[in-house]
Structure 1
Amino acid sequence: MTDSDPATILQQAVYQLETGNPEQAAEFAGQALESAPENAEAIFLLGRCRALLNQNTEAINVLEQASERLPDRLELFNLLGHLLYHERHHEKAIAAFRRCVELDPDHVEAQRQLANLYLSNDQPEAIRLFERAHELAPDHADLLFDYAWGMMYTVGDTDQGAELFRKWLQLDHGTADRGSIAVQALNYPSNQKPTELAQIHFQWAEKYMNHLGHDFDFSDHDFSDNRRIRLGMLSGDFCRHPVGRFAMLLCHHLDLQRFELFIYSNNHETDELKPSFEEHAVWCDVTKLTDDEAAKKIRVDRVDILLDLSGHTKGNRLGIVALKPAPIQAASFAYPNTTGLGAVDYRVTDPHSDPAGTTESLWQEKLEYMPHTPWLYLPPLEFKTETTPPPSTAGKPFTFGCLNNPVKTSRVSIRLWAEVLKRRPGSRIILFELNPDHGQLLKQFFLEEGVAPEQADIRPKGGVTYFLELHNEIDLMFDPFPYNGGVTTGDSFWMGVPVLCLEGDTYVSRQGVMQNRCLGLEAFIAGDTGEFIEKAVQISNNADLLLQLRQNLRGMLQQSALMDYNGYAAKFKTMLNRWWAKRCAEYQEIGQAD
């Protein structure tokens, strides 16, 4: 046997691969194939090397050749399936993973990936595969996370999704990012327990974040109170998004003689709002910066107060906030719960969302109260949609509705709304679906509660004009719970449709209370489920009230604290000034003590 013998060369290739040299291994595999082009093992090994070198297209081509020669090699089809999935060749990926399951009916990873692939077009099969894989490997962290995500955000069964996310958190082997996703998801389910949810936030922060900010040093920071305060805002939503609209109002209405503004955007995609932000603030894209690099940038900019406008929502950079890049840090709007971070000093709230003496223990941050509302409403002015009289006044069936994110349509909400529909035979409710399968699930939930099929009118989501015009088909809106609507409630008021809400115990469940009180609509707040049902029936029988509100709600909204931009900015300025004066005084005390 000589050194040029294909078997010897292949052995060298295997050795190089096993010792962590895929590039050298690929060279040897190529040499072996020059002498023996049909050598299936050499082809497979070359495909593995290409995959390790992130040469996915080449790896797929080679592995597909190998699969014809090694039709029973399980690990080959598993690797090929993953590469095809990564490159979005979904039909081919399904075939590869199906072959894995044929070769090993208990192959957990193949069933996990098949479940993910089927979620978009065959949810029953996806659920069956997830259930089977979870039965085989109940402590498989990646599987459990995917299962939880799929049930929550694609299937739309928020109660089951939340239970799976709880189990995933208990495994305690996830990353900070995945932990944040799981924590955020626990705001949605019917059995939300505020104290338990707060503790989960605190535990996440303690595990992943709180140790990061221990070494911060502001000894060279300028703590003088007679200059412009440098105010930074951090988010992934500085665009046509509720957070972007709120941030835009702050930029336009804050006193720029008192504040110098900095925008730290964690989204490489921008829209037409960016130039408007840049007229008032320094814009910095932090998407490609690590947490350490972004925190260093904020410190170089010498930001005095940093507002986090993400919390645990998509695109957040809580890792930056945890590093404490600014002397004062606060959370506002965006996320209706605590960040859990010890590095965040304040949370902006109001007396309606967090009644004094009731919720302080649920927040890591110190609560700071604006007089009426913690955020502002900006209507979609670029879309000209006029209001029309309530549909029931034109002889159509009385129509309830909820046009929030469909994930907020909890099972407990459906149970309550079903009781109203049964009290009003012939009425209907319009809801949004995540997808057609979710729409069928919602119909099934209502059917199980004794509601006639024709009473549940499930619609697909659409664009802004479609969304606004749909309000003209609705007489009375319901606020979802426990996760209330936010800007969506303002949109309903803008279109002249009142919103009936159930008063909850915490910020996430009291946004309907806050907004109704801002408009003086105490009659649209129910203290318990029985009162909710009675109020829904009474209001639905009061055509004069609904017609009057249809004509006046937009004006009432415009005159309310939710749209008092200058008044809010003045009070926000006072609050920021107070924070900064306190911090400056603390620094001076430390300096005198030294």
Structure 2
Amino acid sequence: MPSPSSTENNQEHDKILEETIKVYNKIPKDISVPKIIDLYENSQFNDIPLEIIKISKKDNLKIETVICFGKYLLRSGKFKEALTIFELSLKIDPSNIAAWAFTIITLERMGAKKASDNKINDALKKTKRHPGIINLKTPYASNNAYANRCLTTESPERLKSLIEKKPTSNDLGEIAYYHYAIAFDALQKNDKNIAINNLLCAIEIIPTEFRFWALLSRTLIIADEALNAFKASVEACTLKVQKFTLDHLLLASNKISKLYLFDNLIDKIISKNKPDTGIINLKAKRLHLTRHYEEAFKLLSKSHEINDKNPETLLNLSLLSFDSKQFLAAHKSFNRLFSLHPEYMNDIQKRFYNLLCACFLNEWDYIDAELSITLSAIDKVSSLDTIVAAFFILSMTDDFKKHVEVAKLTSKSILRKKDFTLTERFNLYKNHKKIRVGYLSGDIGEHIVSHIFLPILSSLDREYFEPFVFSYRPDDGSDYYKNIKEQSNFHDISKINDRDAAILITNNEIDILIDLTLYTSASRSNIMSYRPAPIQMHHTGFPSTSGAPDVYDYMLVNKFYLSEETIPYYAESLIIQPHIIETAFNKCNLSDNLTRSDFNLPDNKFVLASFNEPHKITRHIFKIWCSLLHENKDTILWIYAADEQRRTKILDEAEANGIDRERIIFAEKLDFDKHKQRLHFADLLLDTFPYGNHSSAKMALESGTPIIAYRGISQAAQISALHLTCANLDSLIAHDDRSFITIASRYIQDENFRSACLQNLATVLNRSTDKTSHKPTAYYELALKMLYSRFKDNPSINAKQSFELPELA
């Protein structure tokens, strides 16, 4: 964190911060609640309502204390018990607003949407439409349901009459909430001035309502009044420290480049004896998203110590373990979450998470038992609130229709529909001398996407294009990050939220926005759903359809991948590259100092290799590899496996298929440059299926090593085959198990066939350095120019149309 300077402004900010912490520390605690909690945790009530009633009669327990106990149960993830307590509190006092509110909130947390909606209707009748019930949703939710309820159910004349007469204290409360509703509605329409004026009116009436200050802070952030926004967010936190008031303090602190103030406040709160696990999880998630894994683990461990059954903590631990490649720990956390809170996720999401962990651990027995059940259950759910599903389905099946199904289900949850958009679709900016192309990515740095993207960015013709990069991955210090930053208008959006990132993109007037990540790890593709650019598309990171035609207008795809069977299922319109386009091969400059012994490889064996992540290596494809080893005795398998548990699984599976353990050699994880060097020492790279080799295939060919490809139907199962076609090595493309073994065996055994293949590859690699041929981005630039020209002079075109690029002379 940056250290505070000694300027007057900094002193003012620090003073406000200290006042916030003082007020937070003075928040009174109900002394009866710990007593109930202690009784509950030690005796394990058999009948919670009965025991509470007994305690109530004995200790004259107030309803507020009963509700506080219910809130404790809710925070602990004991939803059913909490619901029982809140329903009990309604029996004690049917008009209690808090009892109604927490009953509804608990039902929502349990996923009982219909029951929750019914309770809202009951509550509105019982409480005479109390503003607190109307405002049960977060005040700036993705829809304006609250504003609609408040503004349409009661006529505007009602507000006018309340203001004109001498209002009572109840009337004043209603007036304040009307102003709040008008402000919220105005903000959805981007009318910031009306929103600010109405919020100031609401605050004048009820200066202690933290929601008013929170929305004012949000509005001021959007209006670029950063310092006032910071003061408003501090006021909100002073009144009530909870997740969304802290969210605003985070945004405002970031706006005035004082993020340390937010972190100081959180750290002070967390340093207390028993901080709220929700606040700890908030900071842990921020550290997780910015890839500060070790610090995030420390915080989540503290949250776990406070309550080892909290579902949010268990889920965050699972996801953090997964992203930091601790798959066994992730698997255990997921299982504990699902066993303690079976209602926390629907069945299909649980299966996806468990199967994904199993794939990374090569738990093939578990996968064999669960895979068919999971695939058959996909059409029984309405949405999938997990981004891993769309990515993982590529490794589960080559059925493109299933890929599309899961992409559509994922898009409903991940790409949340907005009530407003930031740009008008296809209405391009008229004043640009160059086409502004924006790239959104979470993989800028030491990542394979950057390895693919950097040559495109470097070659992009600056006479016609002005590239912008919006990265939500922090600087990892790599040359890739440095080079991409230097060669573009670069914006680090890792510390701002999705909406503000979308606004930033819009303010840069991007003509064509390209998502390089989509449904992969730590994705923030929700930014695209704000429509921050007139034309939006995706390529590179996710090799399938988005399933979201309202968010992604186009997808760049090679003709090689398309067939009559698959074309109708793409959600986007397609920009189709001709299949004869050459892959931009960059011949690897090999080191003279390396030998096979540097990688523990024998000189007298034919080396078959796979450097894929474990989720791509199915039991089915591994058995094919074992058959290949069985038919060719002088071969060994050189395979990447990072941990001992996975290595043991691979050795056991090889032995079960009749292959000696000595014929398996394990490869370590290396950076891209060293990895490309070692690829040269493999004799033949083995493809995976159904999620095939992508960048590894290209890098192997660039280092002079061919690959045997297993071509399927989906794009994910065809990329290595395309690379071979571009390298004039179609003879190494297989279409089924038997042909895979036959072609690979021929390459191993037939020296003439092998020499011919290597000669073809050498010719293509030498041609790739020929400056007289088309530059690698020629077709790519043509695609962007044609796309731009289609809408520049005719933005009224509503129908998106696929189009094919002409072949260049």
Bin for the TM-score computed over the shorter chain: 0.7 to 0.9
Tell me the distance in 2 between the aligned counterparts of 1:575 and 1:311: 20
Cα displacement (A) at 1:184:
0.9
Cα distance change on mapping 1:202 and 1:210 into 2, 3 Å = same
Larger mean CA deviation between 272-281 and 228-237 belongs to 272-281
Larger mean CA deviation between 194-203 and 151-160 belongs to 151-160
Cα displacement (A) at 1:441:
1.2
Equivalent of residue 463 in structure 2, options 254, 257, 279: 257
Deviations along 1:317-364, whole A, 9 cap, x unmatched?
A: 210112211111111111111122222111111122x23434213321
2:294 is the alignment partner of 1:87: no
Deviations along 1:400-441, whole A, 9 cap, x unmatched?
A: 111222321122211211221121134221111141111111
Structure 2 partner of 1:230: 436
2:510 is the alignment partner of 1:303: yes
Structure 1 counterpart of 2:451, one-letter code: R
Cα pair 2:428 2:795 within 8 Å, conserved: no
Bigger relative CO (Cα 8 Å, ≥ 6 apart): 1
Tell me the distance in 1 between the aligned counterparts of 2:458 and 2:326: 47
- Aligned residue runs from structure 1 range 535-554, under 5 A: 535-546=743-754, 553=761
Deviations along 1:216-253, whole A, 9 cap, x unmatched?
A: 54289555498311111111122232322333222221
Cα distance change on mapping 1:324 and 1:123 into 2, 3 Å = closer
Tell me the distance in 2 between the aligned counterparts of 1:182 and 1:156: 18
Cα pair 2:425 2:534 within 8 Å, conserved: no
Once the two structures are aligned, what percentage of the paired residues are identical?
Answer: 17
2:520 is the alignment partner of 1:313: yes
Cα pair 1:239 1:274 within 8 Å, conserved: yes
Cα distance change on mapping 1:273 and 1:137 into 2, 3 Å = closer
Structure 2 partner of 1:245: 451
Structure 1 partner of 2:415: 209
- Aligned residue runs from structure 1 range 159-308, under 5 A: 159=367, 176=385, 179-189=386-396, 191-209=397-415, 211-212=417-418, 215=421, 217-218=423-424, 222-224=428-430, 227-270=433-476, 271-308=478-515
Tell me the distance in 2 between the aligned counterparts of 1:388 and 1:425: 23
Cα distance change on mapping 1:564 and 1:436 into 2, 3 Å = farther
Structure 1: unaligned runs, 5 residues or longer: 1-7, 22-49, 64-83, 101-106
- Aligned residue runs from structure 1 range 42-441, under 5 A: 55-59=269-273, 86-87=297-298, 140-141=344-345, 147-154=354-361, 157=364, 159=367, 176=385, 179-189=386-396, 191-209=397-415, 211-212=417-418, 215=421, 217-218=423-424, 222-224=428-430, 227-270=433-476, 271-342=478-549, 343-352=551-560, 354-371=561-578, 372=580, 376-378=584-586, 384=591, 396-441=604-649
Structure 1 counterpart of 2:553, one-letter code: D
Tell me the distance in 1 between the aligned counterparts of 2:303 and 2:782: 60
Equivalent of residue 446 in structure 1, options 654, 668, 674: 654
Structure 1 partner of 2:92: none
SS of residue in 2 equivalent to 1:567: coil
Cα distance change on mapping 1:132 and 1:479 into 2, 3 Å = same
Cα distance change on mapping 1:542 and 1:551 into 2, 3 Å = same
Cα distance change on mapping 1:350 and 1:426 into 2, 3 Å = same
Cα distance change on mapping 1:501 and 1:135 into 2, 3 Å = same
Cα pair 1:489 1:512 within 8 Å, conserved: yes
| TM-score normalised over the length of structure 2 | 0.55
Cα displacement (A) at 1:571:
2.0
Tell me the distance in 1 between the aligned counterparts of 2:553 and 2:608: 41
Q: RMSD of the alignment, in Å?
A: 4.7
Structure 1 counterpart of 2:707, one-letter code: V
Deviations along 1:533-585, whole A, 9 cap, x unmatched?
A: 11111111123554665677455235259999953322222211111111124
Tell me the distance in 2 between the aligned counterparts of 1:562 and 1:203: 46
Equivalent of residue 712 in structure 2, options 464, 489, 504: 504
Structure 1 counterpart of 2:620, one-letter code: V
Equivalent of residue 726 in structure 2, options 518, 523, 529: 518
SS of residue in 2 equivalent to 1:559: helix
Cα distance change on mapping 1:88 and 1:534 into 2, 3 Å = same
Cα distance change on mapping 1:175 and 1:419 into 2, 3 Å = closer
Cα distance change on mapping 1:370 and 1:156 into 2, 3 Å = farther
Cα distance change on mapping 1:463 and 1:562 into 2, 3 Å = farther
Structure 2 counterpart of 1:11, one-letter code: S
Cα displacement (A) at 1:458:
3.2
Cα displacement (A) at 1:258:
1.0
Tell me the distance in 2 between the aligned counterparts of 1:459 and 1:291: 39
Structure 2 counterpart of 1:525, one-letter code: I
Structure 2 partner of 1:32: none
Tell me the distance in 2 between the aligned counterparts of 1:517 and 1:486: 14
Tell me the distance in 1 between the aligned counterparts of 2:325 and 2:527: 38
Larger Rg computed on CA atoms: 2
Tell me the distance in 2 between the aligned counterparts of 1:344 and 1:123: 32
Structure 1 partner of 2:789: 581
Structure 1 counterpart of 2:406, one-letter code: I
Tell me the distance in 2 between the aligned counterparts of 1:90 and 1:211: 35
Cα pair 1:373 1:562 within 8 Å, conserved: no
Cα pair 1:249 1:565 within 8 Å, conserved: no
Structure 2 counterpart of 1:258, one-letter code: Y
Tell me the distance in 2 between the aligned counterparts of 1:277 and 1:126: 33
Equivalent of residue 11 in structure 1, options 13, 32, 35: 32
Cα displacement (A) at 1:61:
11
Structure 2 partner of 1:490: 698
SS of residue in 2 equivalent to 1:430: strand
SS of residue in 2 equivalent to 1:238: coil
SS of residue in 1 equivalent to 2:555: strand
| TM-score normalised over the length of structure 1 | 0.73
Cα pair 1:385 1:465 within 8 Å, conserved: no
Larger mean CA deviation between 123-132 and 368-377 belongs to 123-132
Tell me the distance in 1 between the aligned counterparts of 2:496 and 2:320: 32
Cα distance change on mapping 1:222 and 1:505 into 2, 3 Å = closer
Tell me the distance in 1 between the aligned counterparts of 2:358 and 2:425: 49
Tell me the distance in 2 between the aligned counterparts of 1:278 and 1:117: 27
Cα distance change on mapping 1:115 and 1:168 into 2, 3 Å = farther
SS of residue in 1 equivalent to 2:518: coil
SS of residue in 2 equivalent to 1:186: helix
Cα distance change on mapping 1:291 and 1:501 into 2, 3 Å = same
